[in-house]
Amino acid sequence: MHPEQPDRSKFPNDFIWGVSTSAPQTEGGATDGSRGASIWDEFQSRGLFFRKKIEPGITCDFLHRYKEDIDIIHQLGIRNFRLSIAWPRILPDGKGKVNQAGIDFYRRVFDYCLSKGITPWVTLYHWDLPLTLEKEGGWTNRASVEWFCDYVRVCIDSFKDQVRHWMVMNEPLVFTGAGYFIGVHAPGRRGMNHFLPALHHALLAQGKGSRLIRSLQPEAMIGSTFSCSQLTPYNDTDNDKAAVQRMDALLNRLMIEPALGLGYPIAELPVLKRLENSMQPGDEKDLIADFDFVGVQNYTREVVTASRWVPYLGAKLVPAKKRAVPYTEMGWEIHPSSIYEMIKQFSSYPQVKKLFVTENGASFRDQLVNGQVDDQNRIAYFKGYISQMQKAVHDGFPVKGYFVWSLTDNFEWAEAYKQRFGLVYIDFSTQARTIKNSGYWYTNFLKQ
C-alpha cells in the first residue's frame, strides 16, 4: 500500500485535531470511588463471547493515571481530547443519589486538561449503562429516557464551567444492535423484540438530552456520533444493488435520520413498522435532536451481497478476508476513500451544518521491540485516510475536525485486550506507556 501524503497546510487553521478514548475502555476502578457496576462489568465477568471470563479490572488505569495520559497528549502536541463520563461513576444506581467522588474526579480531569491547553470534548453515554437500570429493562424500558435526562442534567450542572463541547451518545446503532439484537455486547440480549424498543428509546433520549443541554448551557456545542461504512455491491447486479440500499438504511441511515427529523427508513426496512408498538404521540418530534454538529465514525468499507437466508434484511456482508484486499487485525478492509464517501453522504443532509470525524483508526499486531513500536502499517493507514479527508475539505464539505481512535491501547469490548488501536502502547501487566511511531508521526504532521 502506497498512500498519498496528506498536507497539513491544506487544512484551515481552525481545523480541530484530536484524539479519542472512552471511560469503560480506559478508566478502570470498577469499584473505586463508590462507582456502581455497569452492564459491561457484569457482561465480561459472565465470560460470554470471550475466550475466558474477564473480571472487571483496571483496563488502562486512567482513573489513577489521567495526568500521565494527559501529559502524553500535551507532549504529542494534540490540543483536543475526546473522552467520556462513566454514568455509574456519577450515579452508582443509575438514578437518585449523586456520587460526589465521581464529580470530583472528572472535575480534576477537566481542570488538568485545561491547564495543559487541551480542550475536552465529552461524550455523555459511551455504552456503560448502570447495571441497576438494566435490571429494570435497560434501554428496552421507556423510563430509560428520563433516567438518561436526569443523568445529563447532573453532568451539565456539574461541568458546564469546564466543558463546552458535548456528544450526547456514541454510536447508538452499535450499543443497541450488538447489545440488544445479536447479543455480542453488553447486556447480551438478543432478538428484534429487544432491539426495536431499545433503539427507539435511545434515540428519544438522544433528542431530549440534546435539548436539555441547550436549555442548561445555551453556548454549548452539541452533537452525537454515528458509526458508518461506505457500502458497495459485491456483484454488479440488481439484487446486490438493492441489498446495498437495505444495508445502507440499517448501517448508515437508521440512527441519523430520525434525529434530523426525517423519520425512520421504513420503506427500505419494512420490519421497522414494528416500532409502532413503541411509539407514542409526539415521539416523531421528540426524536429530533438539537445538534450543532454530527460526529462521523468511519473505519472501513463494506461489500454487500443479497442473501435470502438473512431475516429482515435479505443481505449480508462479504468479509475482507474473502476478497483479497488489505485489512486490519479486526478484519476490516483498509479502504481510505470510505472516509471521503461517508463525509459526502452525511454532508448531503441539509440539516448537517458541521461535521467532525470523531473516530478513525486501525488495530494491528503491534510489538514492543527495544523500547519502540514501529507501527508503519498504522502510519500508512492514517496517511491514506487523512488524505481523503483533505480531499473532502478541498471539495467543500463541512468537515471541521478529526479525532484519532485511540490515544492508548485499551479494552476493546468483545475483543477484550487482543486488539490494539492506540497511538500509545500499553503493557497491561505493568501499565507502562510507550508512544508508538504512529504517535510521533501524528505529532510531526500537526507541526507541519
What's 409's DSSP letter?
Answer: -
pLDDT of residue 311: 94
Average pLDDT over the chain, rounded to whole?
A: 96
133 belongs to a structural domain: yes
Higher-confidence position of 383 and 45: 383
Q: Look at 41-50, 208-217, 380-389, 413-422 and tell me which has the smallest mean pLDDT.
A: 41-50
pLDDT class of 3 with cuts at 50, 70, 90: low
pLDDT of residue 56: 67
377 belongs to a structural domain: yes
31 belongs to a structural domain: yes
Instruction: Check if the beta carbon of residue 43 is closer than 8 Å to that of residue 105.
Output: no
pLDDT of residue 49: 58
Give me the domain span that covers residue 18.
8-447
pLDDT, mean of residues 138-164: 98
CA-to-CA dists, residue 297 to 54, 294, 311, 405, angstroms: 28, 10, 27, 9
Q: What is the CATH number of the domain that holds 18?
A: 3.20.20.80
CA separation for the pair 32, 303 (Å, rounded): 44
pLDDT, mean of residues 41-53: 73
pLDDT, mean of residues 94-117: 98
CA separation for the pair 441, 380 (Å, rounded): 10
pLDDT of residue 29: 93
pLDDT of residue 48: 58
- Residue 284 grid coordinates: 416523531
CA separation for the pair 341, 22 (Å, rounded): 26
pLDDT of residue 44: 87
106 belongs to a structural domain: yes
Which are the catalytic amino acids? 171, 359
Q: Which of 59, 171, 67 is nearest to 115 (CA)?
A: 67
CA separation for the pair 226, 223 (Å, rounded): 10
Q: Which residues of 317-335 are buried (b: 16+ CB within 10 A; e: fewer)?
A: bbebeeeeeebbbbebbbb
pLDDT of residue 52: 58
pLDDT, mean of residues 102-106: 98
CA separation for the pair 152, 45 (Å, rounded): 28
Q: Which residue bears the cell 478514548? A: 21
pLDDT, mean of residues 84-92: 98
Q: Which of 115, 112, 118 is nearest to 81 (CA)?
A: 118
pLDDT of residue 53: 65
pLDDT, mean of residues 326-341: 98
Specify the 3-state DSSP secondary structure of 30: coil
CA separation for the pair 175, 170 (Å, rounded): 8
Long-range CB contact pairs, 191-198, < 8 A, 24+: 192/271, 192/274, 192/312, 194/140, 196/272, 196/274, 196/275, 196/277, 196/278, 197/139, 197/140, 197/142, 197/277, 197/278, 198/138, 198/139, 198/140
pLDDT of residue 286: 98
Tell me the three-class secondary structure of 206-263, residue by residue: HHHHHHHHHHHCCCCEEEEEEEEEEEEECCCCHHHHHHHHHHHHHHHHCCHHHHCCCC
Q: Look at 47-51, 164-168, 407-411, 416-420 and tell me which has the smallest mean pLDDT.
A: 47-51
1 belongs to a structural domain: no
CA 228, 233, 239, 241 torsion-angle sign: positive
CA-to-CA dists, residue 248 to 3, 231, 301, 420, angstroms: 27, 7, 12, 28
Instruction: Give the tens place of pLDDT for each residue, 190-248.
Output: 999 999 999 999 999 999 999 999 999 999 999 999 999 999 999 999 999 999 999 99
Reply yes or no on whether the pLDDT at 115 is more than 80.
yes
Rounded to 5 degrees, what are φ and ψ at 223?
-155, -170
CA separation for the pair 345, 342 (Å, rounded): 5
Higher-confidence position of 342 and 416: 342
pLDDT class of 50 with cuts at 50, 70, 90: low
pLDDT of residue 31: 84
Long-range CB contact pairs, 248-253, < 8 A, 24+: 250/173, 250/313, 251/173, 251/227, 251/302, 252/226, 252/228, 252/342, 252/345
- Residue 154 grid coordinates: 447532573
pLDDT, mean of residues 238-263: 98
23 belongs to a structural domain: yes
Higher-confidence position of 199 and 55: 199
pLDDT class of 258 with cuts at 50, 70, 90: very high
Instruction: Give the tens place of pLDDT for each residue, 62-83.
Output: 999 999 999 999 999 999 999 9
pLDDT of residue 46: 84
Q: How many structural domains is the chain composed of?
A: 1
3 belongs to a structural domain: no
Reply yes or no on whether the pLDDT at 1 is more than 70.
no
pLDDT of residue 360: 98
Q: Which of 76, 37, 70 is nearest to 435 (CA)?
A: 76
pLDDT class of 47 with cuts at 50, 70, 90: confident
CA separation for the pair 205, 144 (Å, rounded): 7
Q: How many CB atoms lie within 10 A of CB 370?
A: 5
Cα-to-chain-centroid distance, residue 247: 20
Reply yes or no on whether the pLDDT at 54 is more than 80.
no
Percentage of residues of the chain with pLDDT beyond 90: 94
The residues, ordered by sequence, that sit 6+ positions from 361 with a Cβ below 8 Å of its Cβ are 299, 378, 381, 382, 404, 405, 406, 421
Reply yes or no on whether the pLDDT at 272 is more than 90.
yes
414, amino acid identity = A
151, amino acid identity = Y
